[in-house]
Amino acid sequence: MGSGSRSSSSFSVGTHAAVCECHAAGSGFRLARRDDKNRTGIREDSELTSRLRICLVSAAYRPYPSGVSEHVHGLALGLRELGQKVTILTTNFPRLESGSDPVRVVRLGRAVLIPMNRSYATLPVGMDLAGQVRRFLRENCFDIVHCHGLFWPEISYWAFRYSDAVNVFTNLTAGFKTGAAGSGLFRRLFRSQLARVHGRIAISVRSRAAVEAYVPGEYRIIPCGVDTNRFRPRTASIPECAHRQPVILFLGRLDKRKGLSVLLKAMPRVLRSQPKTRLVVVGTGPMELAARRFVASAGLKDSVSFVGRVSPDDLPAYFAGSDIYCSPALGGETFGIVLLEAMASGVAVVASNIPGYDEVVTDGIDGILSPPGDAKAMSLALLRLIDDHGLRRRLAEAGLRRSRQFAWPSVARATLNYYLELMDSKSASASVSA
């Protein structure tokens, strides 16, 4: 696998906003082109009988609220449902209550938040974090160590260094500049680490493009999944929205990258046309105080509710109790898990037209995409759905169909198929070497 190699699976970008095709023998996965009439998402090819010992490694995990946390959690549950033995290796979040988890979770060190990609990254630290990871891996004979990260000094770095299993890398972030001058230096510095990567997964075209200069090789594109049992259409009410209609939901970290300020600036225009509209803001973050001050100064306090952090168990009710989900993110997204959750809940979606999001939503087909950072355009997109109930219903129904292509059972099966391919490949290589 040379630095210039591309995915061995067939890959194409078509003329009608195609996403990708990724289908290799045994992969069990195909992400449809946008112009496919049936828009098939993922198909199953084989029955899986192997029981693997799998360690999913991630610096971000519940209770820390992030798309990475939810992705790792969903994958763990999906693999467990397929009969696999799953352990999550993560860190502690001192100010957050961890609660119970249906899979085994091991926490080492503690998390420190550092600014990155106009947001915050979780960085595990500890007096002997490297030694703890080494002992943990030696005490647990894993078949697969699947790291959602790679770079020093976070926990995945140490997992790659000390793992003797089949090692898989997944990139879930867009915090790398494509073709950056430092990528060559990075590859030299981390040469031994990169040599220990047996498989590479990207969740989207955007995800692969963001990291392949740093972690070269063949990538299997397997998207994020959504729990269609947990997120589904239902009759629900949100206390903050009693007697108000329609309801717009924002859910995410209150930081610059998520673009809440754009949505807040769009609200006066929305309210002039539709004064009964209510915006519900779920989440916390460094921009919360500024957002609250803007709402007060703009006279929006009667129409905007700040809910704060919501437990994972309560999130589905907020989605299902809303009429429109809005994600005004400014960039730095590799996919759009939260969009899938809204679509699976039967809610119409308005989102920024940015890389990553455009691989989930097709403008005018299963949602509306608006230019990033443009408050006027965002307000017009919202009003378009508020004013046209028929359009809102059609987009919600199309979004619901689209979301089902990404149901976790299929995504987990595609991932497990890939694990088995990698194990077969490693075994074959070992036999040849012997």
Q: What does each C-alpha distance from 54 to 48, 79, 144, 221, 244 come to in angstroms?
A: 15, 9, 5, 20, 47
Contacts for 152 with CB less than 8 Å, ≥ 6 apart: 190
* Rounded CA separation 265/97 (Å): 34
Positive or negative CA dihedral for 77, 340, 117, 188? positive
Instruction: Tell me the domain boundaries of the chain.
Output: 53-225+406-433, 239-404
* Rounded CA separation 416/44 (Å): 11
pLDDT tens-place string over residues 403-424: 999 999 999 999 999 999 999 9
Model pTM? 0.79
pLDDT value for 6: 37
Strands annotated E in 159-292: 166-171, 199-202, 220-221, 247-251, 278-282
Q: What does each C-alpha distance from 406 to 223, 284, 354 come to in angstroms?
A: 7, 28, 20
Contacts for 60 with CB less than 8 Å, ≥ 6 apart: 66, 68, 69, 72, 90, 122, 148
pLDDT value for 149: 84
Tokens linked to 232: 């589904």
Of 124, 133, 187, 126, the C-alpha closest to 160 is 133
Which residues are paired to 124 by β-bridges? 111
Contacts for 196 with CB less than 8 Å, ≥ 6 apart: 160, 161, 163, 167
pLDDT value for 63: 84
Q: What does each C-alpha distance from 11 to 20, 24, 213, 298, 388 come to in angstroms?
A: 6, 10, 18, 48, 38
CATH topology agreement for domains 53-225+406-433 and 239-404: yes
Give the N- to C-terminal CA distance of the chain in Å, as an integer: 21
Contact status, residue 355 vs residue 245, Cβ threshold 8 Å: no
**Residue 59 falls in which region: left (phi positive, over 0), alpha (psi -120 to 50) or beta:** alpha
Please give the CATH number for the structural domain made up of 53-225+406-433. Answer: 3.40.50.2000
Q: What is the CA angle 104-107-109, rounded to 5?
A: 170
Contact status, residue 382 vs residue 395, Cβ threshold 8 Å: no
pLDDT value for 297: 98
Q: Which residues of the chain fall below pLDDT 50?
A: 1-46, 178
* Rounded CA separation 108/133 (Å): 8
Q: Which CATH number fits domain 239-404: 3.40.50.2000, 3.40.50.1400, 2.40.10.10, 3.90.1170.50?
A: 3.40.50.2000
pLDDT value for 234: 83
Q: Give 132-189 as a DSSP string.
A: HHHHHHHHS--SEEEES---TTSHHHHHHHH--SEEEEEE----S-TT-THHHHHHHH
pLDDT value for 96: 67
Residue 343 burial (CB < 10 Å; 0-12/13-18/19+)?
A: buried
